[in-house]
Structure 1
Amino acid sequence: MENIDSPRVRGRRPPQGDPVVDRALALLAAFDVRHPSLSLAELSRRSEIPPSSALRLASRLVEWGALERGADGRFVVGLRLWEVAALAPRARGLRQVALPYMRDLSEVTRQHILLAVREGDEAVLVERLSTQRAMPVLYYVGGRLPLHSTGVGLVLLAHAPAEFQDEVLARPLVHEPEKIPVSAAALRRTLAQVRRDGLAIVHRQAPRPLVTVAAPIFDGDEQVIAALSVLVPEEGADSRALGPAVRTAARAVSRGLGSSAALGPDPAGGRTDADGRTEVDDPGAGG
């Protein structure tokens, strides 16, 4: 795809402006969960690309199928982009192995079952199973979750490299939507407990009371590559039953991925429940 707005210079970048692929990616990045549909003016403003250029690029993306344009003139993400994204090996193989065990958990809990991986400094939800009676949640497949205040995020952060943990802990972190500051020292203790216990239980009070129970998933190299969680209303939730169920499912998925060390560590020390599981009282956590 050549640069539409700048004369082509063989073997060099265009003399002015960003490469066309960067501008096309900027258009795609303009969409998010709060902006799934954009007018040309909105697309131009959010991508910081002039309207005429945005229109030409968007039209090319529509032709390829990365975007679609409705009768009202608004743009949405196209189906072909989803088809390509579904081929991502990190999610595809993981989902194939995990789905049977996620279905088992879904049948037992009748709520939400989440599967997430770490991408940069966030968790990305690669699968979610939910029943009709499940409580409303904001998480959607392909959506991003904070590492410091969600069940799957805490598991993934706890097993991330120490340098990365230090980088995250050095930031000013807050729980959303309550805007409550996160104590780096308390978070570091929580991460240590999650590593020891092999399971995290997070209590959230906003926007509604819920409990999430998360466990790590290991690959054949015995590295934590994903986290599995159950998210249920706090009322009537039995973490003593959910913990072993989530841990068992995560171990089964790990074995399916070639792990031979999926039994998890023994609980040791810290503030845990009677079964040795980490419990975090967090008004801004979930997932």
Structure 2
Amino acid sequence: MSCPSANFCMAVLGSGYAATFDGTTWSQPTGLSSSAGQPDSVSCPTVSFCMAVDAQDSSAFLFNGSAWSSAPRISDPVPGTQTGMASVSCSSPSFCAAVDNGANAFTFNGTSWSPATAIDPGNQLSTVSCPSARFCAAVDYGPDVVIFNGTSWSKPSAIDPGTYLQAVSCASASFCVAIDRKGNALTFNGSTWSAPVNADPNGLTMGEGGISWPVVSCPASDFCAAVDGASGNVVTFDGSAWSAPVNIDSKAANSVSGPVLIFLMSVSCRSAAFCVTGDTIGNTFVRS
């Protein structure tokens, strides 16, 4: 899910569809053409530009404000292989970065995607966040973060030894938050990462079978929202401390001991006054 304004959000569904939110209601889902049909990440820097990528292959899709079309394809690092894409983040229509379900990153210049760059050899990347064309942060399903400076990617740096990072969101080159599977949050001040602080001791944990995950969105250095991986909770950050968890999804909370796990799986905040989050059965929740 990606919300560049309080009157526009775009959500992509793993079933191969996309839907928009106008601040009041959601549109009917629109199908995206893909050989695999499992879009898993979308980024909209403006209401007239969105980029989405597919979890099963290297397909990419462009939204121009009114309709979706196929975007230039992302080149597989080894011809004939399809690791699928994990995450995409766009700071403008002329810059996006994407990471695949492996060690590779790709950048988009408004026309085409760069060749693969192996930025995290031997590991599996999870999420990338790019507040500008001159700064991105990507984390893997391990302890590592990799930074892009507009030209090249840094070497992986272990910021959270002994656990698994899951998501990252950057408001600027001087402020990011990364979340791990234990509910620990780490903040970046432009040069160093903080020690882990537990943001939600009861909620931000991996769910049944390891299929759920915490997600975070930081539109500014004095506000972030994170949704957990099991219990339907949200926590917020005011620039200095994390709030107590608030349950917003009772169905998710009640599913933890049930046969089917329901969990919040995406959150996007335009500001502290507007966030949208959604769960695995199609329910959405708005902070306004």
Alignment TM-score, normalising by the size of structure 1: 0.26
Alignment TM-score, normalising by the size of structure 2: 0.26
Higher strand fraction: Structure 1 or Structure 2? 2
